[in-house]
Amino acid sequence: MRRCLVLLSTLLCLPLQAAQLTLELGNGSRHWQSAELLAHPQARDIRIDDDVSYKKTMHYRAVPLAALLPGITPQDHLQAVAEDGFAAEMPAAPLLKDGPSRAWLAIEDPARPWPPLGNGKHSAGPFYLVWTQPQAGRISPEQWPFQVASIRRLAPVAERFPALLPASTLAADDPVNLGFTLFQKNCLACHRLNGAGDAQFGPDLNLPHNPTEYFQPAFLRRYIRDPQSLRQWPQGKMPGFSSTVLSDTELDALLAYLAHMATRKP
């Protein structure tokens, strides 16, 4: 027993190990090690105010994400996949901009590990996509994936998952179509719908039942704005979507899309 305790103590004291980030951008795979990224010519120390994951000011060693995306154009579509199955769908255009909102890949230094995200949880490392001045680009909380393992270029969501599409008879400017765009940005990183999507983090939002079918409208809005105000539990992971991220008009459109898709189950 004593030998087991000594071994456990030793393991707990081991330093954080270096990690590897995989990029699949359509021209083969590129693997970046933590040490390589920390020493990248464009790496710098940045400050993130009101960090989405840590809920406080954080300081990181980071590389502009655009510097790691050779050959990617604003018309491309990327997906960042985290170790826990979170899959953030991201149009490339915002990721390539150098301001005012700017995307950075923060790298956790094994010699100076970041704090855990909560009791019994890991840190946001080894790689974390963060933003400076996110308000200027109306960056969603879902566009801050942490514990990132890979970033890959893919076809747009509508091509990969036709089961997510609204009815083709709707006008292009119908709120349901705007809601579909907002769903991709804010929901698809965690949830599937009609079984379609790459996320393995949250429940399907249409099967067996759509939230518009069992939530009263006012409570569904409240839940999206602040999940813990309606259902409190320590392990709750869904972020709230404030009006600065999702305006009331946009929330109306998102709910219109969900209600529409409740009529389009397989």
Residue pLDDT, tens place only, 33-75: 999 999 999 999 999 999 999 999 999 999 999 999 999 999 9
* % residues pLDDT > 70 (the chain): 92
Kindly tell me if the per-residue pLDDT of 106 is higher than 80. Answer: yes
Q: What is the mean pLDDT of residues 113-125?
A: 93
The CATH number of 158-261 is: 2.60.40.420
pLDDT computed for residue 208 by the predictor? 97
Topology of the domain covering 17-154: Sulfite Oxidase; Chain A, domain 2 (3.90.420)
pLDDT tens digit sequence for 223-264: 999 988 877 776 667 888 888 889 999 999 999 999 999 999
Residues of the chain with CATH 3.90.420.10: 17-154
Q: Write down the mean pLDDT value for the chain.
A: 90
Name the pLDDT band for 169 (thresholds 50, 70, 90).
very high
**pLDDT for res 16:** 60
User: Is residue 11 pLDDT above 70, yes or no?
Assistant: no
Comma-separated ranges of CATH 2.60.40.420 domains in the chain: 158-261
pLDDT (tens digit, 9 = 90+) per residue, 177-207?
Answer: 999 999 998 999 889 999 999 887 789 999 9
* Interval 17-40 mean pLDDT: 93
Token output for 60: 């990181």
